[in-house]
Amino acid sequence: MGMGRAAVQQLDDFLRSVQHLSPHTRNAYRRDLEALRAYCEREGVERWSRLDGARLGAFVAQRHRLGLGGRSLRRNLSAVRAFFRYLNRSGLAVANPAVGLVTPRTPRLLPRALDVDQAGQLMRIPGDDALAVRDRAILELMYSGGLRLSEAVALDLEGIDWIDGTATVLGKGSKMRKVPVGRYADAALKAWLKVRASFAAAQERALFVSSRGTRISPRSIQERMRQWAIRLKLPVHVHPHMLRHSFATHMLESSGDLRAVQELLGHADISTTQVYTHLDFQHLARVYDQAHPRAKRTRPR
């Protein structure tokens, strides 16, 4: 006997309850939990409350054999933990089978970032037409404050504080945070606002709009950035998140202040920020030589 209608309804009710998550995360949770439901069907688990740690561990092991990496498996378990917390609160289950389960670890690779010169080259978008002015403003702001693509898209006109030189963005988990607007970003944004009115539809509050006058889409920014990188002869494939990686890397290289960068990026867990600390060893060696009182190592002549 497979899962009944009540179990399916409970899953649908949970997915409707997590509206605070991004659409991307909700869709990932749906895929993960639907895969688990199909597994329970095959195993004859007729109610969620009958799923125990051993069966869930076997499901995770099966997914691993099918090629899922550690990061995807950890997200799988996060979805299951959240679902069972919902079932626990609703009185539909008394235990959480995902608690205590571990997944295979995969090495965390340093995200690809532009170097400082390449970032500067990307900002030098030529032309005075409105779309070029808009694109310069988008790129300068994303690099200035380490914005996620979704944060730049969702930013409204009132999100910029011109006196403080900050932007207030809506991050993951519906968390608001302030990010700095540097002088280059400030100048680029002011240039964009001078021409924005000729684009924006009446009552449109989005800071960045498309040629149709409505809020620009994530896909449009991705494609425009790709085209500009090619035109400006950058030797790498450039995507929006690369600017966020570049912001984090350059900030850490210059300041070494991990906590400050964590706050600026809006990371809830500092371990997420620590991926940016795996800097080139030669850079670390130079910092060591300059900072440590007994660091002047003897080098062969």
Do 294 and 264 meet the contact criterion of CB atoms below 8 Å apart?
Answer: no
The position carrying tokens 């889409």 is: 217
Judge whether 241 counts as a catalytic residue: yes
Half-sphere exposure of 200 (CA within 13 A, CB side): 18
Judge whether 276 counts as a catalytic residue: yes
Phi then psi dihedrals of residue 150, to 5 deg: -60, -35
Judge whether 267 counts as a catalytic residue: yes
> Cα(299)–Cα(163) distance, rounded to whole angstroms?
51
Catalytically annotated residue among 148, 196, 224, 250: 148
Amino acid at 179: V
Judge whether 172 counts as a catalytic residue: yes
- How, if at all, do strands 160-161 and 176-180 pair? unpaired
Catalytically annotated residue among 64, 75, 226, 241: 241
Catalytically annotated residue among 39, 86, 143, 276: 276
Report helix, strand or coil for 167. strand
Nearest to 99 by CA among 110, 113, 88: 88
Catalytically annotated residue among 30, 172, 177, 226: 172
Report helix, strand or coil for 161. strand
> Cα(50)–Cα(28) distance, rounded to whole angstroms?
24
Q: How far is CA 84 from the centre of its chain?
A: 25
> Cα(149)–Cα(123) distance, rounded to whole angstroms?
16
CA distances from residue 148 to 3, 91, 229 in whole angstroms, order as listed = 39, 37, 18
Judge whether 212 counts as a catalytic residue: no
Nearest to 239 by CA among 116, 113, 134: 113
Catalytically annotated residue among 215, 224, 244, 250: 244
Judge whether 278 counts as a catalytic residue: no
Active site residues: 148, 172, 241, 244, 267, 276
